Chains A and B, each alone.
Chain A
Amino acid sequence: MPEYQDVIIAGFGGQGVMIIGNLLAQAGLEQGFEVSFIPVYGAEMRGGTANCTVVLDTRPIGSPIVREPLSTIVLNEPSLTKFQPCLDKKGVQIVNASLIDKSLVSREVNSVYIPANDIAHRLGNVRLASMVALGAWLQATDALPLKAVQEALNRVVSAHYAKLIPVNSSALEAGWNFA
């Protein structure tokens, strides 16, 4: 596992950007990392792109804001357009193939092109797409063990939705296996 990892997660509002950001930060915390999660509200309108930044570090975190991320998870086209040019040269991006045309993905960038919505649909709920993408990110970055993130679902998912934990866990695994 790397000593330092950061990620910008971006998509439409409602795609689960904030949920997987929180989950990742919680799992990092439980694995003994210093973590920060920050939602960034730009000038985007409601229903437009939402994004958050998560930093995992073995040292106390300085800047929680990252402008040249080591990785991104982009769930829709506007997010790819916005963040692909900023990605660190050694970085990796998880691209939602279900909603993003392959022609837009730069060949100079290390990418995992994963049909997250289609995989989620096969699992029974398209809203699991962000979990699928996070699973792929875990495989691609080796930032945290899959098990740790699956376990952290118990803290992040409220008691009211506890029955959805197993299917979210499967979605993470499906993404992991794809990548």
Chain B
Amino acid sequence: MSETDRVLIKGNEAVAFGAVDAGCRCYFGYPITPQNEVPELLSSLIPENGGAFVQAESEVGAINMLLGAGACGVAAMTSSSSCGISLMQEGISYMAGSHIPGVIINMSRGGPGLGDIGPSQGDYFQAVKGGGHGDHRNLVLAPSLAQECYDFMFRAFALAFAWQNPVMILGDAIVAQIKEPVRRVPPAGAHKPKDMSDLARDWRIEGFGGRGQNAVPRLLKSVYLAEGALAERNRLLLQKYTDMRREALFDSEYTDDAELVVVAFGSIARIARSAVRRLRDEGRKVGLFRPVSLYPFPEEALRLCATGRRFLVIEQNTGQMVEDVRLALNGVSSVLWHGVMPGLFIGAGELIDPILQAVKEKS
């Protein structure tokens, strides 16, 4: 493949191209920085591909439109940023409770409140712990390259339909706004859009006539009032969340002989990678473990590389993923933490000292 096959585009634009190439047919969303290139590009790409693009009146409207389109078994998505994602939580909970698929992009902002539009990983808890009311989980993928913004859209739709569950892509201002070379080619093993409608055949609403005149009407809902019915529903969801664990994804570099393993995700992971490489060049035995799926968290893989190593979690928030790392390691290894405050643009240089300090610190 020649270099001209790679196009220089923003992470947000890669999301939009990835969405249509992965078979997305409906987009619903409300403008918010720093993700506006997603709807701007899709407002032409989706209609050109025969789908529906609706600029909703609010994020509340958008998520419920997504619920409706997902209930029809159609590949659909929305995109927003932190405060907008907060407004969507009710709808996300209903989708999870009703087994309705859909893809939600959160190119997050700094917070709390209106915060700023700088880099932040402050929405980690919201994304991986469900975010909405009741017991529910979203599958969460965290890209750190524009190419991954493209590739992960295929995986996101495949996961949404395989598990009939909301899938969230959690990015930030860096991966949203960065321009990098992107190959617009479906990743190896990507499903075809047709596979999704096949997966939906057994549960989607469509008008019962599509299944023959005597077909039993279908109902997608989350309310279960009869005695024991909700417990049964939650048991089913628990089973689903347990089975989902096999979807865990991670990346690692230099962990084999590392004395200290840095754990970081998303944009911070790539900045940490630069710092780790620089320290490797100086002969320091440091490695990098990057959770690619934040839910399910790759706890098994993390445990496998735990023995005899110490861990330093670096994240751009006041301490969120560190809790999942500690839970995964369950006291087997010591886990240190370095927080980068939301809103800061940091380079690899700022991570050198914290890593060196962790190397020196006795457990």
Contact = CB atoms under 8 A, between A and B. Distances in A.
Interface of A: 22, 25-26, 29-32, 34-43, 61-68
Most buried by B among A26, A37, A65: A65
Contact of A63 (B118, B179, B270): B270
B117 interface: yes
A29 B271 contact: no
B6 interface: yes
Nearest to B273: A62
A71 to B, nearest CB: 15
A30 B273 contact: no
Interface stretch (B134-142, B238-246, B347-355): B347-355
B174 A38 contact: yes
Contact of B349 (A38, A39, A67): A67
Interface of B: 3-4, 6, 8, 116-118, 174, 177-181, 270-275, 277, 345-350
Contacts of B6: 29
Given A36-B178, A42-B118, A62-B277, 16 more contacts: A22-B8, A29-B8, A31-B3, A34-B181, A35-B180, A37-B179, A37-B180, A62-B274, A63-B273, A63-B275, A64-B270, A65-B174, A65-B271, A65-B345, A67-B349, A67-B350
Contacts of B271: 62-63, 65
A34 B270 CA distance: 14
15 contacts: A22-B179, A25-B179, A36-B178, A36-B180, A37-B8, A37-B180, A38-B177, A41-B118, A43-B116, A61-B270, A62-B348, A63-B275, A64-B174, A64-B180, A68-B349
Contacts of B8: 22, 25-26, 29, 35, 37
Contacts of A39: 177
A23 to B, nearest CB: 10
Nearest to B4: A30
A156 to B, nearest CB: 9
Given A22-B8, A26-B8, A32-B3, A66 B347 contact: yes
Nearest to B350: A67
A29 B349 CA distance: 25
A32 B1 CA distance: 12
A119 to B, nearest CB: 28
A105 B53 CA distance: 52
B116 to A, nearest CB: 8
A41 B345 CA distance: 10
A37 B346 CA distance: 15
Given A62-B273, A65-B346, A67-B350, A37 B178 contact: yes
A25 B349 CA distance: 23
A60 to B, nearest CB: 8
Nearest to A68: B349
A39 B181 CA distance: 16
A62 B179 contact: no
Nearest to A34: B181
A65 B6 CA distance: 22
B270 A62 contact: yes
Contacts of A32: 3
Contacts of A22: 8, 179
Contact of A36 (B179, B277, B346, B350): B179
A62 B117 CA distance: 22
Most chain A CB within a 10 A radius of its CB, from B118, B274, B277:
B274
Contacts of B346: 65, 67
A48 B349 CA distance: 27
A61 B348 CA distance: 11
Nearest first, the 9 A-B pairs at minimum CB distance are A62-B274, A67-B347, A37-B179, A63-B274, A63-B271, A62-B273, A63-B348, A38-B178, A65-B347
A22 to B, nearest CB: 7
A30 B181 CA distance: 10
Contacts of B179: 22, 25, 36-38
